[in-house]
Chain A
């Protein structure tokens, strides 16, 4: 999808003003955060909800080490994977960017005479705007993850969460949408809506000639792709159509099935608080001659689209990411503004970093600043990506490349000049505090900040209680003696 990340300020402002979205996000936060906490404390029957579980911490170390081992020799692992996957009967293609992804997919579809494609979730196909390309070529793409399907029939809305793409919509909105698009009486219960979608999508599963999936992991030792789903659409897409296309980033490789098993102890717990997801499929090669089912043709499209640029850089740790969504679930900024404000495929802390690095620092100026640097994201990341640190580094890069607006640079310049002159600084602080107290007019909070009214559009500004820090400190010293 085309990035809208440069409009973060406006879009987050709109999100803040949307009371329904705020309520939907509150529900999301409570569920995801609570479920992960319970799963982590229960791991190996150890730990409590508030004290870090030592066994789970060891697991996080192991997960990070597995990912680092691959990234350190990524070229070697890619070749090993390519060799094994090819030996097992799959075709391996490579794509530098979204355009090449679309070219490969369209060529494969044409070769096999495909008119309809069923898709299980692939964030890379969002990066590539693949559905647009398929539709333009006269091929019908059908999203089958329930959340993605809801968004597709809702005028191709972008996802707002990598696990729960339609997290910004509530039951009522989905019910209205289904009634309108399916032409059936409106249902008000979630199970009935889910069954309605199941029946619509079942027809597509049984009639599509090609399935497209992402890949949670590529396994070098066996040449396999691993898919993790709860709905079972991943199994459908890899079992029923005669052609299966896997679109996945070059960083997704893990060496062995044993490494995969370790990461599978981290991923579901971090994502949805499950000990395991309902369906974990390890798919290798094509249908054997006597096999009862499976695709006759399997293709891998290994995608760069900015990833190779992170290899060996100070941002390489970002490539460990296993797309669990824990960072956004725990992020106070994401919890407040939701996923759409971030403007591209990936929201939350991992999205702020990836959008900046994949679409260009200058196209996502606000995203590294959409963080309090509280590091909740880093604390919950299953592969220990230092997300707050990476966001701070991105801020540094912006400053180094003089990408910050002139007003901000001028303000910081003035501040630096004043801060080096203690007497002047004291005077300025004194005047500032007086001004804020005058604005507060006896209240604890300032409703509208005179010089920066935007800051108080969605929140109040705490008023200073007394004088400046120096004044308070001085008074305290006097009281002591």
Chain B
């Protein structure tokens, strides 16, 4: 604890508040708490028009691919078509929420469990999506394994159109509204496949995470 107290004492001395009165300390604390309570938002780009279109455009700019289906029931055949088109394996893992979809009918072998290091395709939903940047917002939890969107070489995400928010701030507000003020263990924002530019600043897709991110936008959900 001595390092803690030393560091804080140094900060206070340099701020000129080492000998401040209790009232002054309380006032500074109130000022900080007021900032927290206000949650004021900063400048942002104007996000006008069709959110779903903006989300689609921006996600593709981040090298995601995107397909649209009308209903959740059409997702398995869309997944099968995507995988077949790229000659990718028809075996995958998915979040439990999608275990009941008729994958077998589409010719897919899907296990509802978190991904392991050698799984090649992972299928997830998302907490919501962000139109500003074409981003998926994923919230960790018992049924939303983070590994499913991370370890496999191909990540397929199911995005209900009604869950597209304009900006990150709206995503956080929605999270508070649905799950309370305390954040889940991990909130991951994912925008396209993983990449690196560390060799000659040449962008290469597929660094440690997926090589491909495919979004299936469900327009009627």
Contact = CB atoms under 8 A, between A and B. Distances in A.
Q: Do A and B bind each other?
A: yes
Interface of A: 24, 27-28, 31-32, 43-45, 55, 58-59, 62-63, 66, 69, 72-80, 88, 93-96, 100, 144-147, 150, 164-167, 169-171, 174, 190-191, 193-195, 198, 201-202, 205-206, 220-222, 224, 230-233, 235-236, 238-240, 250, 255-259, 261-262, 264-265, 272, 275-288, 290-294, 302, 304, 308-313
A420 B173 CA distance: 67
Contact of B46 (A44, A144, A284): A44
Nearest to A283: B186
A125 to B, nearest CB: 17
Nearest to B205: A191
A282 B142 contact: no
Contact of B145 (A100, A202, A272, A292): A292
A261 B132 CA distance: 12
Contacts of A58: 43
A275 to B, nearest CB: 5
B198 A145 contact: yes
Contacts of A309: 10, 14
Given A235-B150, A292-B141, A279 B200 contact: no
Q: Interface residue tally of chain B, by bracket? A: 35 or more
B77 interface: no
Contacts of B108: none
Contact of B195 (A95, A144, A145, A230): A230
B85 interface: no
Contacts of B40: 258
B12 to A, nearest CB: 5
Interface string B187-202: 1111111111111111
Q: Which of A194, A233, A250 has the most chain B CB atoms closer than 10 A to its own CB?
A: A194
Given A55-B43, A202-B117, A286-B185, A27 B200 contact: yes
- Kindly list the 7 A-B residue pairs having the minimum CB-CB distance in the complex, ordered from nearest: A232-B209, A262-B42, A231-B207, A292-B145, A147-B198, A312-B14, A232-B194
B95 to A, nearest CB: 9
Contact of A258 (B3, B41, B144): B41
Interface string B5-32: 0111011101111000000000011011
Contact of B39 (A169, A170, A256, A288): A256
Contact of A233 (B181, B189, B207): B207
A100 B185 contact: no
A257 B207 contact: no
A241 B191 CA distance: 24
A322 to B, nearest CB: 14
Nearest to B8: A75
A408 B112 CA distance: 73
A191 B11 contact: no
B176 to A, nearest CB: 9
A250 B32 contact: no
Contacts of A233: 207-208
Contacts of A304: 3, 7, 10
Given A150-B198, A309-B10, 19 more contacts: A69-B35, A76-B28, A164-B201, A174-B199, A190-B199, A194-B204, A198-B206, A221-B36, A224-B183, A232-B208, A258-B39, A261-B169, A272-B197, A278-B193, A279-B188, A279-B190, A282-B183, A282-B189, A293-B140
30 contacts: A78-B7, A79-B8, A94-B4, A96-B7, A170-B200, A191-B204, A205-B117, A205-B208, A224-B183, A230-B196, A231-B195, A235-B146, A239-B147, A250-B11, A255-B36, A256-B35, A275-B133, A276-B189, A278-B62, A278-B190, A278-B191, A278-B193, A278-B209, A279-B191, A279-B194, A279-B209, A282-B183, A290-B142, A294-B140, A294-B146
B189 A281 contact: yes
B15 A74 contact: yes
Given A146-B207, A311-B15, A164 B140 contact: no
Given A96-B7, A285-B185, A190 B43 contact: no
A231 B11 contact: no
B14 A222 contact: no
A157 B141 CA distance: 39
Nearest to B201: A31
B202 A202 contact: no
Contacts of A174: 199
B15 A75 contact: yes
B109 interface: no
A72 B207 CA distance: 39
A325 B114 CA distance: 37
A32 B203 CA distance: 12
A284 B183 CA distance: 7
A59 B193 CA distance: 27
A232 B150 contact: yes
A59 B183 contact: no
A58 B43 CA distance: 7
B168 to A, nearest CB: 4
A239 B12 contact: no
A275 B168 CA distance: 13
A292 B144 contact: yes
A238 B186 contact: yes
B114 A230 contact: no
A94 B43 contact: no
A256 B36 contact: yes
Interface string B39-78: 1111111100000000000100110000000000000000
Nearest to B133: A276
A313 B33 CA distance: 25
Contact of A202 (B31, B41, B187, B208): B208
B135 interface: yes
A69 B186 CA distance: 26
Given A55-B45, A256-B39, A190 B142 contact: no
Interface string B112-156: 001001000000000000001101000011111111001000000
Given A170-B200, A198-B206, A231-B207, A281 B182 contact: no
B89 interface: no
Nearest to A35: B201
B3 A96 contact: yes
A24 B40 CA distance: 43
